[in-house]
Structure 1
Amino acid sequence: MEAHGAKALEKADANRNHLNKVVEGLKVEVQNWVTIIEEVTARAAEAEARGREAAEARDSLISSLDQLKADRDRMRDHGIEHRAREAGFKAGYNECLNHVNPFYQSKFTDERSGFHGVDTEARYVAAINAYNSLSISAIDDIDKCLEAEDYMDHLRLLYADPEEEGETAGGAKGDAGTSGTKGD
């Protein structure tokens, strides 16, 4: 009976050793999974941060683009204002002549005017048309990039830093980076 008890004890001890090995293996596997989850969580946090930065950069670019467009419109209005003033001055001068001439026997003309023989209205219209057809390539390029689904990659390619030529369009030095796609 002692032999049978010793054999059962030996078998139980072998089972306990086997279970300890299985538990240790499972602990290692769980630790590996914990490490993987921590790495994925850290990468996700980095991607979220890059996503926020990309959104902030996009918003900043849109704001800058809007300001450039407003400045362009203000320049147009100011530049065209000069031609409008010329046209108004000539029209006012001619109107004045029309009012004064009936009171004098000699007729006054616009020969002494700086605008004699000048079609100020046509110059004014030409200035408006020229400015309205004016294209500022940087604004057009930024507009095109912001319309694209992966606008950040387009902007990076458009305004690539010569020092970063070895890097990918998606991020820094082989990193997948943030595509900056429109999904917001």
Structure 2
Amino acid sequence: MGCFFVLTSAELNTRKSILGEVTSRATEAETRARQAEEKGDGLATSLAQVTNDHAWMCQHGIRHIVEAILDAPENATGVTDMNVRACQSGFKDGYNKCLNNVNPFFSSRFTDERSGFHGVDTEDAFGAAVDAYNNLSIPALYRIEAWLEVEDYVDRLRMLFNSAKEGEGTSDANVE
């Protein structure tokens, strides 16, 4: 035969109270678990975005930034000027060394009066070209640098460089 327990009203209230507390704790634990899961999903999404941004910067962004520097008209002009000044300085130096080597064998003295660089200080001109290049200002870099300071810099760089055709250089004209 079955056993029946008879609960008094006080015992019933105690058990209801315990059941209510357990239910409340279970609900609270479920809420914390759901919040932790949502936070974990958010972190996973953030990690995926950061990983994607990192990969894009490594594969495309850095190359585009370097191309913006190399293709900038200011850079091309600075490099050309340095090359011209270096050649002129080297030519004058070589011409003078040749004169120094030849003059001991001839009774008449040869001078650099016929040289196109007679009286020109090519070393100072080369030094000035190097200084100008070292102080070069490329406007595209200021825009890129400003964008690197904002939170969504990768998205902005993507928009900037995706507007330029892939495989073409990114000149200052392309960097708006």
Instruction: Calculate the TM-score normalised by the size of structure 1.
Output: 0.49
- CA offset digits 1:149-173 (Å, max 9, x no partner): xx452737976969xxxxxxxxxxx
Q: Distance in 2 between matches of 1:69 and 1:156?
A: 16
SS at match of 1:111: helix
Identify which range, 117-126 or 96-105, moves more after superposition: 96-105
Q: Distance in 1 between matches of 2:138 and 2:93?
A: 33
Structure 2 counterpart of 1:97, one-letter code: L
Q: Distance in 2 between matches of 1:158 and 1:51?
A: 14
Q: Which runs of 5+ in 2 are unaligned?
A: 161-176
Instruction: Calculate the TM-score normalised by the size of structure 2.
Output: 0.51
Q: Distance in 2 between matches of 1:159 and 1:63?
A: 10
Structure 1 counterpart of 2:44, one-letter code: A
Q: Distance in 1 between matches of 2:142 and 2:157?
A: 13
- Residue 52 and residue 111 in structure 1: after superposition, are their counterparts in 2 closer, same or farther (change >3 A)? same
Q: Which one scores higher on RCO, CA 8 angstroms, separation ≥ 6?
A: 2
- CA offset digits 1:34-59 (Å, max 9, x no partner): 65554443223212222323444565
- Residue 111 and residue 48 in structure 1: after superposition, are their counterparts in 2 closer, same or farther (change >3 A)? same
- Residue 145 and residue 64 in structure 1: after superposition, are their counterparts in 2 closer, same or farther (change >3 A)? same
In the alignment, which residue of structure 2 is the partner of 1:174?
A: none
Contact 2:61–2:158 under 8 Å retained in 1:
no
1:88 to 87, 90, 105: 90
Identify which range, 28-37 or 46-55, moves more after superposition: 28-37
- Residue 87 and residue 30 in structure 1: after superposition, are their counterparts in 2 closer, same or farther (change >3 A)? closer
Contact 1:65–1:139 under 8 Å retained in 2:
no
In the alignment, which residue of structure 2 is the partner of 1:48?
A: 47
Structure 2 counterpart of 1:118, one-letter code: V
Q: Distance in 2 between matches of 1:54 and 1:152?
A: 14
2:123 to 121, 144, 158: 121
Matches within 5 A, 1:38-117: 38-56=37-55, 63-64=62-63, 67=66, 80-117=82-119
In the alignment, which residue of structure 1 is the partner of 2:153?
A: 155
CA RMSD of aligned residues (A): 5.1
- Residue 133 and residue 27 in structure 1: after superposition, are their counterparts in 2 closer, same or farther (change >3 A)? closer
- Residue 131 and residue 140 in structure 1: after superposition, are their counterparts in 2 closer, same or farther (change >3 A)? same
SS at match of 2:120: coil
How many residues in Structure 1 have an aligned counterpart in Structure 2? 152
